Amino acid sequence: MHDRDKSMSGKICMVTGATSGIGAATALSLAQLGATVIVVGRNLGKCTSSCEEIRRVAGRVSVESMVADLSVQDEIHGLAERFKGKYRRLDVLINNAGARFLSRSLSADGYEMTFALNHLGCFILTNLLLKELLTSGHGRIVNVASGSHRSCTGMNFDDLQGAGSYHGKEAYAQSKLANLLFTYELSRQLEGTGLTVNALDPGNVLTNFSRNNGWLSWIRHIVGSLRAGGLIGPAEGAKTSVYLASSPEVDGISGKYFSNRMMVNSSDVSYDADAARRLWDISLELAKFK
């Protein structure tokens, strides 16, 4: 990236899960491109440190933080209200926040944590900020999914919350399939508005992602990723997110899945429009939108 490239100057971008890993690298890259960046994380100290690091590396840039735990619906609403209180529009929303949970636990709203954070958090925040994204004229929504969605053969609508049986890897894969079903359904609903939404696989990125579950889980993540073909750093993992947020090459492109900055096919089940609509309706109810 050339230091003088300010192609995102004047753009307002929100990046969730932006205090470490891919999210932090994405926020830094967008700031370097001249964007006003809102760093979203659940920890005030980490949000402050992330903003300081971006300023240290990128110089005089416009960056601020907004604190919210995106597994908690009241905090998502609070985040949206704080944003709307300061900004009239949003040009780019990057739904990057996510986690793996080795054992089943419930969110503050009583939902299984993987589903609550990885899918519902993304679903609720996007819907709450749709007006501001539409105001942009040519806004972009970027959903960070994962190649692990391919191991999920379909949404378990009989037990979305994993109450019957829970396996962390399977719950994560299902949540990433949900990201794609959400992306494709939202794209259908936004057709003709100028607002686009796409999803991506960042690749096998070496981050602290699995440390939520202890060192053993993190080591397993590394070993599994090495077997799958190696690991890349956060900056490399962020490149497709930044590409979808900023590149003129994807102007007007919506409802697609990208890997390594190239459009690719996601799994067959991810294109099930009936499943996508069903998930959308269930999500509306769980989010108390209807």
Q: What is the pLDDT of residues 269-283, one digit of tens each?
A: 999 999 999 999 999
Q: What is the DSSP letter of 205?
A: B
CA 11 to chain centre: 19
H helices of the chain, in order, are: 21-32, 44-58, 73-86, 113-114, 122-128, 130-135, 168-190, 215-227, 234-237, 239-246, 273-286
CA pair distance 44, 50, nearest whole angstrom:
10
CA pair distance 105, 37, nearest whole angstrom:
32
pLDDT of residue 230: 58
Label residue 4 by pLDDT band (50, 70, 90). low
CA pair distance 249, 234, nearest whole angstrom:
23
Label residue 234 by pLDDT band (50, 70, 90). confident
Amino acid at 261: R
Average pLDDT, the chain: 91
Which residues does residue 263 pair with via DSSP β-bridges, in sequence order? 258
- 227 has pLDDT over 60: no
Spatial CA neighbour of 146 closest among 104, 190, 207: 207
Residue 188: exposed, middle, or buried by beta-carbon count in 10 A (0-12, 13-18, 19+)? middle
Provide the annotated active-site residues: 172
- 210 has pLDDT over 50: no
pLDDT of residue 231: 61
Spatial CA neighbour of 100 closest among 171, 165, 52, 154: 171
pLDDT of residue 1: 44
Whole-number percent of the chain with pLDDT over 70: 89
What's the token pair of residue 198? 């796409």
CA pair distance 285, 162, nearest whole angstrom:
18
Amino acid at 242: V
Spell out the residues 6+ positions from residue 97 whose beta carbon is closer than 8 angstroms to its own. 16, 17, 23, 40, 70, 117, 121, 122
Label residue 218 by pLDDT band (50, 70, 90). very low
CA pair distance 97, 105, nearest whole angstrom:
18
CA pair distance 46, 54, nearest whole angstrom:
12
The count of C-alpha atoms lying within 13 angstroms of the C-alpha of 50, restricted to the half-sphere facing its C-beta, is 32
Domain 12-286, CATH number (from 3.40.50.2300, 3.90.1170.50, 3.40.50.720, 1.10.8.60): 3.40.50.720
Label residue 52 by pLDDT band (50, 70, 90). very high
pTM score above 0.75: yes
Can you tell me the mean pLDDT for 184-203? Answer: 97
Spell out the residues 6+ positions from residue 219 whose beta carbon is closer than 8 angstroms to its own. none
Spatial CA neighbour of 1 closest among 185, 208, 261: 261
Domain ranges for the chain? 12-286
